[in-house]
Amino acid sequence: ITPASMTIVFLGVTIGTIMTMSSSNWLMAWIGLELNMLAILPIISKPKTTRASEATTKYFLTQAIASAMMLLSSTMNAWQTGNWSILELKNKFSTTIMALSLMMKMGAAPIHFWLPEVLQGTTLQTALLITTWQKIAPVTLMYMISNNIQPTILVSAGILSMIIGGLGGINQTQLRKMMAYSSINNLGWTITIMAFFPNMALMNIFTYIIMTTPIFLTMTNMSTKTLQNLSTTWTTSMTMTLSIALLMLSTSGLPPFTGFMPKMLILNELISQKLTTLATLAI
């Protein structure tokens, strides 16, 4: 791929997300997400391998289904309310379908199945793009409609994401799959608190992005893709290995690291909302 075509592709990814974030109309938000999706497909399929082609196909199919669900939801809502405004999503059925489509877009449970597979089939830089930048647009849309979504749906999906993300990453030796399950787990925290305190959900996802970016960049620099690689790099670059270990502890939310702060605030908010059982489950 030539530098000019890569520039066009990255512009498409950037403009698509910004268009979705700044739109107040469902059609414009949908167009932004479609532009973003079509622009990232050449980036995922850049390595000329069978796994990269498979990852591209899986990503395209899941995102296309999510986009179709999103369009169906907004059309049904427009049919009933007479407008396409994002903030006027009043129909309960439309809101549920929209919430599911956005969860599918960002890779939250129970529609998370594509994320570990896609990340495993592509490069570390592309995996970084999918786990960080690609989540911004769906999270923004969910933030905008959070008042209309039934808390039961968000909390159920959030708790399921936490459980699947936590258990799924245990048996992994591939670092990209581990990061995918870490992403699912973090989305669980974001979605759960979205029902009660949307601003805190945004703070949580941006803290996650700030912590995940250096992990992927360090792994790219060290050319490590498995836990075995990571264990042998200790002898060659001690500082890098130590940095990645501390960053991973931070991402998992261990005190006194940065990652503990949003989790502590989320638990505090859940307890103050008299949701002690939920807070216990989250721990």
Looking at residue 107, what is its pLDDT?
A: 93
Question: What does the DSSP 8-state code read for residue 86?
Answer: G
Split at pLDDT 50, 70, 90, the class of 233 is confident
**pLDDT over 90, % of the chain:** 75
Give yes or no for a contact between 128 and 180, defined as CB atoms under 8 angstroms apart.
no
Give the pLDDT mean for 148-166. Answer: 93
The pLDDT score that the predictor gives to residue 246 is 93
Residue 224: pLDDT band with limits 50, 70, 90: confident
Joined together, the tokens standing for residue 216 give: 């992927």
Q: What is the mean pLDDT of residues 44-51?
A: 92
Query: Phi and psi dihedrals of 112, rounded to 5?
Result: -100, -10
The model's pLDDT over 162-221, given as tens digits with 9 standing for 90+, comes to 999 999 988 889 999 999 999 999 999 999 999 899 999 999 999 999 999 999 999 998
Q: Residue 194's pLDDT is what?
A: 93
pTM for this prediction: 0.93
Question: Structure tokens of 166?
Answer: 């936590």
CA distances in angstroms from 173 to 178, 179, 211, 253, listed in the order given: 8, 11, 21, 21
The residues near 85 (Cβ < 8 Å, ≥ 6 apart) are 24, 25, 26
pLDDT, tens digit, 9 for 90 and up, residues 234-276: 777 888 889 998 999 999 888 889 999 999 999 998 888 877 6
Of 5-19, 96-110, 151-165, 232-246, minimum mean pLDDT range: 232-246
Q: What is the pLDDT of residue 49?
A: 92
